[in-house]
Structure 1
Amino acid sequence: MTEQFKLYNPTVMDHFLNPRNMGDIVDADAVGQVGSAVCGDIMKISLKIENGRIIDAKFKTFGCGSAIASSSIATELIKGKTIKEALALTNRQVVDALGGLPPAKIHCSVLAEDAIKAALVDYLKKHPELAAEMNIKLEEITNKNNNHSQEHSESGAA
């Protein structure tokens, strides 16, 4: 194993080398994309939602091994969850599920959280009655995502 891979634990390596849920959902109910080519990481999450529950989640990620692993585990974490449960997912939960990430790669877990929330905002914008019924304020979610994205690009993280 090369020196650079020694930074990563076996769970991160497994999700990097054998990513789960990679690809697109052709008839997705929701799509969210975050990141920028400038910093080097772009994540796109697509979701299939039935009766307020995520029945499928897929991702396409352009980025480092930590970004791919974060996307993979995040999609695993939200499958079967309700919209509200998925909105509660934090980057810390992504890091914990991976068994940790090097400090310089924590931003990848933030992108995974933000991509999922962007997809859920996309869905709730198409179904405003659900957002109202669940007492979800889309602007609050969007503002948090924008703050994360701004912090990510200011850190120059890749």
Structure 2
Amino acid sequence: MQYSEKVMEHFRNPRNVGEIENPDGIGHVGNPICGDIMELYIKVKDNIIVDAKFKTFGCGAAIATSSMVTELVKGKTIDEALAISNKAVAEALDGLPPIKMHCSALAEEALKSAIDNYFKKQGEAKMRERVEQALAKIRPSLQADDGNVELVEVMEDGVVKVKLTGACGGCPMAQMTLKAGIGKAIKQDVPDVKRVEEV
């Protein structure tokens, strides 16, 4: 099996190895047949991938394709990155042996998985912002009775967790306030919310 010089260079001296602290997206993929596992991390600013790093457990071709995909994706918009195919990764490495093309497919999958994770996080962040806006409308009436509510967590399944504080925390009517007041107001403003729970 013959590898190109570029494959060997990216295998011997891989670019962008490691993790990104507080990544905007993480992709985890693996191939159970050959045992290759890839993790790809991306950092996005203003819809542009400004950094990409990887951790790969696998053969030389898996490491080289991981290295190359991180090089190809930097400076690209999200849409441009989504257009990067396994064929483009293999071509950038001056080709791969046919038996190793699955490694470039794994690199493409890792990139798309990281971008999917980025989109998911963006959706959760937007939902959290909308829930916070809904709570801001409710707070004055709670504060009038020396109570308050804090947003604890917005779960991906549409469950919102809140903490009742002040007079609301020990009030015997807390569950009614939660369901009829807080929960209803949040669901009205943020229809994606399925349930509001107290922690």
Scaled by the length of structure 2, the TM-score of the pair is 0.60
**In 1, distance between residues paired with 2:22 and 2:123?**
20
Counterpart check, 1:110 vs 2:110: no
Q: Give the alignment's Cα RMSD to 1 decimal.
A: 1.4
Q: Deviations over 1:17-59 (max 9, x none)?
A: 0000000001111100101455310000001111110000000
Residue 97 of structure 1, CA deviation: 0.1
Please name the residue that 2:37 is paired with. Answer: 42
**In 2, distance between residues paired with 1:66 and 1:74?**
12
Please name the residue that 1:8 is paired with. Answer: 3
Q: Which structure shows the bigger proportion of residues in helix conformation? A: 1
Q: Which runs of 4+ in 1 moved over 4 A?
A: none
Higher relative CO (CA 8 A, sep ≥ 6), structure 1 or 2? 1
SS for the counterpart of 2:20 is: coil
Counterpart check, 1:79 vs 2:112: no
2:61 touches 2:100 (CA, 8 Å); kept in 1?
yes
SS for the counterpart of 2:23 is: coil
What are structure 1's unaligned runs of at least 5 residues? 130-158
2:31 touches 2:106 (CA, 8 Å); kept in 1?
no
**In 2, distance between residues paired with 1:125 and 1:35?**
20
Q: Which amino acid aligns with 1:118?
A: S
**In 1, distance between residues paired with 2:100 and 2:71?**
20
Q: Deviations over 1:127-153 (max 9, x none)?
A: 239xxxxxxxxxxxxxxxxxxxxxxxx
Which of residues 61, 65, 71 in structure 2 aligns to 1:66? Answer: 61
Q: Percent identity?
A: 57
Larger Rg belongs to: 2
Counterpart check, 1:32 vs 2:62: no
Deviates more, 1:33-42 or 1:90-99: 33-42
Q: Which amino acid aligns with 2:65?
A: S
**In 1, distance between residues paired with 2:68 and 2:62?**
10
Scaled by the length of structure 1, the TM-score of the pair is 0.75
Please name the residue that 1:96 is paired with. Answer: 91
Please name the residue that 2:119 is paired with. Answer: 124
Residue 121 of structure 1, CA deviation: 0.1
